Amino acid sequence: MAPPELDLPLAETPASRFLAWLAGGLTYLAVLAAAAAAFAHGTLLRLAERPVLVTVALPAVEDPAEAERQLAAVRALVESFPGVAWTAPVAAEEVGRLLGPRVDRNEDAQPRQALPRLLDIRFLPGAEPDLGELLRRVRSLVPTALAEETSPELSTLEELARRVRWLGAAAAVGVFLLMLVAVSAITRTSLDLHEETVGLLRLLGAPDRYVARQFERFAAFAALSGGSTGFVLALSTLFALLYLAPRFGFHLLPVEPRPLDWVLIAAVPPAAALVVTLTARIAAAIGLRRLH
């Protein structure tokens, strides 16, 4: 990409030349930050749709009829609880398998004593059940009953995803703010360096908007050229993290990017270019007012 031909020799100024590198580096960081936020958001959405599973454990009862009656009563009570999709008693064999060597068995490998009963409860997607209330109600029937969410690792993942989403969004905003400050500083430095040429342009009748447009055009070029490079490098980094790392046994990110995530990521370089271009123009316009 050839730089635009400008009346001001901005491409020859070290401060201005740095602009393309800066735009590239910051676009790279902004893309990664936006990707982290987008992927984390997608993960949170998936987690929100994943049903909550809770298992209620009822203590062993020697009388099978009584055990059956108690389980049916608890099941009926649980099914009336808000958000419950369905319930399913866990088969005795499965309970026995879960308890393993702690179960005293006869020659036929049958348990010698009654086993606790387990009731799996599945909540509707998006439901946020009050497990304390559920347990309180169950204990009104069976005082020693227990209840726990059977996928506790999900809440850890959810918390992690929330943090990554917050950090990613904050980092993206931070990078854009840094871009704003750095481009303003570079533009003002360039303006000071080219004060004499700016004076000549004014003497030839150039209005301030003509001069400011020179900075704007250069900044747009720097943002697009540097930003393209930063974008390609950021995509390569994401590709490596998402698709190559797992092949070598590194499962860094449990994410499944959505098409919308890629749209958001693709929007970062144009947004960065827009910020750089507008900032350069506004900083130049303000700086020109300062110059005599």
Partner 1 sequence: MDDDRGQATILQLLGVGMRYGSGEEVLRDIDLSINAGSFHYLVGPSGAGKTSLLRVLSLSRPIARGKLVVFGHDVRELDRDRLGRLRRRIGVVFQDFRLLDHLSVFDNVALPLRIGGADEERIAAHVSQMLAWLGLADFMEAKPPALSMGQRQLVAIARAVITRPDLLLADEPTSNVDPARAERLMYLFTELHKLGTAVILATHSREHLRRWPFPVLRMEGGRLLSPPASERLAAE
Can residue 1 be called a binding residue for partner 1 (CB under 8 A)? no
- Shortest Å, Cβ 279 to partner 1: 22
DSSP β-ladder status, 117-123 and 146-149: unpaired
**Touching partner 1, residues 172-201 (CB under 8 A):** 197, 199-201
Can residue 202 be called a binding residue for partner 1 (CB under 8 A)? yes
Closest CA to 60 of 151, 145, 127: 145
Residue 5 or 153 having the CB closest to partner 1:
5
Can residue 14 be called a binding residue for partner 1 (CB under 8 A)? no
Judged by CB under 8 A, the stretch of 5-13, 29-37, 73-81, 234-242 that binds partner 1 is: 5-13
Can residue 285 be called a binding residue for partner 1 (CB under 8 A)? no
Distance CA 78, CA 138 (A): 7
Block residue for tokens 């419950």: 84
Judged by CB under 8 A, the stretch of 202-210, 220-228, 229-237, 269-277 that binds partner 1 is: 202-210
Contacting residue, 86, 210, 239, 250, with partner 1 by CB under 8 A: 210
Task: Quote the Cα angle for 59-64-68, to 5°.
Answer: 75
Question: φ, ψ for residue 204 (rounded to 5)?
Answer: -85, 5
Closest CA to 138 of 25, 192, 57, 246: 57
Residue 9 or 125 having the CB closest to partner 1:
9
Contacting residue, 107, 144, 204, 249, with partner 1 by CB under 8 A: 204
**Residue pair 78/140 in contact by the 8 Å Cβ criterion:** no
Can residue 4 be called a binding residue for partner 1 (CB under 8 A)? no
Closest CA to 27 of 238, 247, 223, 279: 223
Can residue 205 be called a binding residue for partner 1 (CB under 8 A)? yes
DSSP character at residue 218? H
Interacting residues with partner 1 (CB under 8 A): 5, 7, 9, 12, 197, 199-208, 210, 292
